Amino acid sequence: MLAGLPEGPVEQMRIQLTVAGLPIEIVRPIESHFAERAEVERIRPLTVVPPVAVNLQSAVAMFPSAEPRAVQFAVRANIANAAGSVRVEVPIGWKSEPASQTFTLTTAGEQRELSFKITPPATDSTGKLRAVATVGSSEIAVGMQTINYPHIPSKSCSRLPKSSCPGDVHISGKRVGYIMGAGDEVPEALRQMGFEVSFLTDTDSSKAISPRLTPSWPASAPTMFAPNSAPINRASWIL
């Protein structure tokens, strides 16, 4: 398990020497050093990746009713001339249309977005969507995120292309005032539930009351679900 480690594993090479009859082994990471214009030298470790990566546009897909909705996926090529198909595995009782979609990516780094119509069952149901790409004889169910900043070595992180689909979603009110946080994806989930989201400024927060929004923290505040985590209750301004 890699969870909790400060860094992921890096490919290494081992050099074995014999000096004065004594064996010596030197271990060094495999990495490339390069420099771009107006930048200092940067280090990029060797990374072993699949031919394509499948990423979800949203980690949570909300279905407040039995109506179908579109769920987007992005296929990114890690090699040139990558071609294959993508299918979406759904929980029992759910439907995905079409059954699969083909893709052709000519250059490494090229990306194509695919949309699938997901239909939940008429009864309350909770599950996960899983995207699987088929390239040749290989099935790939791995997404990838690249962390690339000038002051640190580039990192490629693998992630599972799964999306949680909470069931039994009931909402109270229609408008939500929200204070945005860094990397916050809750507003999108609120919109999927049917809320009209208004972002609050420092002035709105200090006044606590605006003509359109009433501050409240109901016991039945919306609950957001994220993959591999416990439900998170969010306080919000609801009218």
Residue 208 lies in a domain: yes
Better-predicted residue by pLDDT, 219 or 152 = 152
Please tell me the predicted confidence (pLDDT) of residue 166. Answer: 60
Residues 58 and 97 in one domain: yes
Please tell me the predicted confidence (pLDDT) of residue 229. Answer: 35
Question: Does the global pTM surpass 0.75?
Answer: no
Residues 179 and 229 in one domain: yes
Which band of pLDDT confidence, cut at 50, 70 and 90, is reported for residue 231?
A: very low
Q: What is the pLDDT of residues 164-201, one digit of tens each?
A: 666 556 667 778 788 777 777 777 777 777 788 888 77
Residue 217 has pLDDT above 60, yes or no: no
Residues 134 and 108 in one domain: yes
Residues 31 and 127 in one domain: no
Residue 156 has pLDDT above 90, yes or no: no
Residue 236 has pLDDT above 80, yes or no: no
Measure the CA dihedral 226/86/81/111, to 10°.
Answer: -40
| Number of domains forming the structure of the chain | 3
- What helix, strand, coil percent values describe the chain, rounded to 5? 5, 45, 50
Residues 161 and 65 in one domain: yes
Phi/psi for 145 (5° steps) reads -125, 130
The radius of gyration of the chain from alpha carbons, rounded to an integer in Å, stands at: 23
Please tell me the predicted confidence (pLDDT) of residue 228. Answer: 35
Residue 84 lies in a domain: yes
Please tell me the predicted confidence (pLDDT) of residue 3. Answer: 56
Residue 146 lies in a domain: yes
Residues 28 and 83 in one domain: no
Domain containing residue 224 = 175-238
Q: What is the pLDDT of residues 84-138, one digit of tens each?
A: 999 998 888 888 999 999 999 999 889 999 999 988 887 777 778 888 999 998 8
Element (H, E) at 222: none
User: Nearest 5°: CA angle at 62, between 58 and 64?
Assistant: 160
Phi/psi for 233 (5° steps) reads -85, 130
Please tell me the predicted confidence (pLDDT) of residue 169. Answer: 65
**The last residue of a domain, from among 165, 188, 219:** 165
Residues 66 and 115 in one domain: yes
